[in-house]
Structure 1
């Protein structure tokens, strides 16, 4: 990694470390430590998610017009203020408002960091850059949660205040690190608006005309709905109600999930980085379908309690294996589909899809996991198989380099934007095969037509 990329990864890991201090204990803090009740805690969690949904539609254009660094710095400051305020909140109003500020700040960070990674990497290195970010963020979250668990004491509110202040400090550290990054020159941010005026008519319209990106967003919603949207809601309720495992075992299961990601990430990376992205994602669907079947055995198999516990822990571990396969495929693919002047908007749109899935997932999965045990398992086995089908269909929409970046010959910050017609693809392939070897190109960007024109 170059110096800029190393600093971005460091800042991302440190912010994840800070988030890990508070995420596992937010509900307990609001409901029990501040004695505001379970209803208020639910409102705080909902507001946290809704704030993200409110700001993400505007984040992408700000990134593309101003650049990702200033947007990230502002977001880090906002998140820091929200975290510190939440740690000092003692009534419903301040807790809800603080959660809204914190949720808005952290939501903006994700597409800003993703866009910085895109600018600091090429087609040959982007897969590993996103895999490294995912690895470091999970490692940071895991360590932060473990350290935070040694500090908290429900009888002493000041220990929870300390956790939130540590989180706030880590956001400031991220902002400081971002200031020190020397981003490579990107002509996209010198003139973010395409000269044909299409962006002025609405970047969303352009994005929706890009069929490959729309298919990827649908696939992303199903991915996050069937996995992350169930971790702390439906699957947790199913494990305690149907499988009869102890609540403390859920912590062990989540730790197993993180451990698999940390241990397997780079082993998996070596296996998938030279394979087609669509087929890797399709394989994840099969792995997760098997994970849900294992969960079904835990709650419906009438085995011993020990076997049920082992099955639930194995379910979370299998989800972690699938996550480690997704990190070097999905996020880089979003960047590779984006027009050069809309990288931020594409990243923000995908982050918005993720937030929607994380909001809908618990609302649907929670009640089903608690009471409709059989239908719950069947539903999410089918959703996982749907991932496989959607991934294979997406693969037919991608160019060969978009689907398998290892085929790229010329390094590029932003790869071809949309899928050309079959005749155009055949012509381009024939011309590249017969063309003489050219002198080294001066610019590292491969230009292509906008997705609206291609479709």
Structure 2
């Protein structure tokens, strides 16, 4: 039997409010261009859409290749320092976009931004883990998702207003405003405390970083979580990638409905994150993660079923219902996924661990457009069947892996002290010597 987690106070170190402010300012600026990425770059640089598409693809590949370096930098210099660096790098990149006039220049600037994007995610997750522990860490991950979704939503509204009021010149304004937003985000973190947060709480005896990525690749339970996470991150690509193609080309739905579905999804992600997190706080993170994956799989069945509804209002209602189920899956997956990865990772190698975990999003960004399109071309139900089955397999795998993880990784709330008989019967994960219990004094971003 597993011990029932006891409710004990969690700890959050200074820096959380400034961190959330930085994320909001960042997302507000990014929301200006993200819904119109290719069109934005085309208008700002004057290059053809084909050239822009090829350049962005090459840049994305460069950014993905640079990801392992981000993990090393986080472990060496601290997540806060690297996070500020990603803001400054991307501010420079967006400031240079209006000066781009050739394909090589586009690749150079876009690759710098892509590398900053790829380093941003493990740095963000590591910083979250560094300033919070236990259930408070799950709560902070929920706040992170809220801050970003609010910023993206407001940024999208501002981009519409800018294009309506200024016209074509609005794209150049977006580039400048986004660059300024990155500088503002960096300032929020830089002014948070005179001494870096991830250096102010170091353990008395520094933990040596041994093994590097070899230690990560030797951690079988963690790699099993990464394999399952790949299916979940592909599911996150349904709304921006698969649904537009499916709704317009298969269901012949009006394109305007996509904006309604996106707005509905974003609004529910903002208001639902904390209530869902409160329901998950006493559950195992792996159970919460598997339940989120099961709801994702149910949404695949719901999207597939809309094709068999009468065309028109019934199909639109079916899309709305399927989007609601899909959004519930997103809400259930986000916080436990990030918190579980951070809890499994040893503090001294957290940057490398979370970089590997975050690679699933980069892989999904590469294979989802081509893969989803190919499956839809063969047969629309094939996409939902393949994705749904992969999610069911991932959920089963997560539950299997949970048997080899410690209570400290499994539960947001600390567990009560085990009796000798229970402790002796509980399987433990094979972990490197440097691994410390999350939430202890060694659980810092050293």
Task: Indicate how the Cα distance of structure 1 residues 363 and 154 shifts in structure 2: closer, same or farther if over 3 A, else same.
Answer: farther
Partner of 2:297: 289
Runs of 4+ in 1 over 4 A off after TM superposition: 31-35, 153-156, 188-192
Matches within 5 A, 1:119-158: 119-152=130-163, 156-158=167-169
2:327 counterpart (309, 316, 320): 320
Specify which of 427, 433, 442 is matched with residue 424 of structure 2.
427
Change (3 A) 1:239 1:402: same
The correspondence for 1:65, drawn from 61, 76, 79, is 76
- The aligned residue for residue 232 of structure 2 is 223
Deviation of residue 351 (structure 1)? 1.4
Give distance in 2, aligned partners of 1:135 and 1:74. 23
Q: Taking structure 1 as reference, are residues 12 and 155 closer, same or farther at Cα in structure 2, changes over 3 Å only? A: closer
Q: How many matched pairs?
A: 415
Query: Could you say what secondary structure the match of 2:135 adopts?
Result: coil
TM-score of the superposed pair, with normalisation by structure 1? 0.84
For residue 20 of structure 1, what is the aligned residue in structure 2?
Answer: 31
- The answer to whether the 8 A contact 2:296-2:329 is kept is yes
Distance of 1:246 and 1:151 partners within structure 2: 24
Deviations 1:386-406 (A, max 9, x none): 232122112222222311121
Aligned pairs for 1:150-299 within 5 A:
150-152=161-163, 156-182=167-193, 183=197, 185-187=200-202, 191=206, 193-194=208-209, 198-199=210-211, 203-225=212-234, 227-298=235-306
CA distance in 2, matches of 1:48, 1:424: 55
Distance 1:75 1:34, change over 3 A: closer
Aligned counterpart for 1:5 among listed residues 8, 16, 19: 16
Q: CA deviation at 1:231?
A: 2.8
| Counterpart pick for 1:81 among 85, 92, 96 | 92
**Structure 2 runs not aligned, ≥5 long:** 1-11, 427-437
Aligned to 2:354: 347
Structure 1 position 38, deviation (Å): 3.4
Question: How far apart, in 2, do the equivalents of 1:188 and 1:358 lie?
Answer: 37
Q: What stretches of structure 1 of length at least 5 have no aligned partner?
A: 411-422, 430-442, 449-455
Q: CA 1:169–1:243 in 2, change beyond 3 Å: closer, same or farther? A: same
- For residues 98 and 149 of structure 2, the distance between their equivalents in structure 1, rounded to whole angstroms, comes to 23
Aligned to 1:377: 384
CA distance in structure 2 between the partners assigned to 1:189 and 1:235 by the alignment: 51
- Offset at 1:2? 5.3
Distance 1:162 1:328 in 2: 34
CA contact (8 A) 2:293 2:333 kept: no
TM-score, normalised via structure 2 length: 0.86
Cα 1:444–1:384, aligned 2, differ >3 Å: closer, same or farther?
closer
Tell me how far 1:55 sits from its aligned partner: 1.6
Q: Is the 8 A contact 1:243 1:309 kept in 2?
A: no
Q: Distance in 1 between matches of 2:81 and 2:44?
A: 36
In structure 1, the partner of 2:7 is none
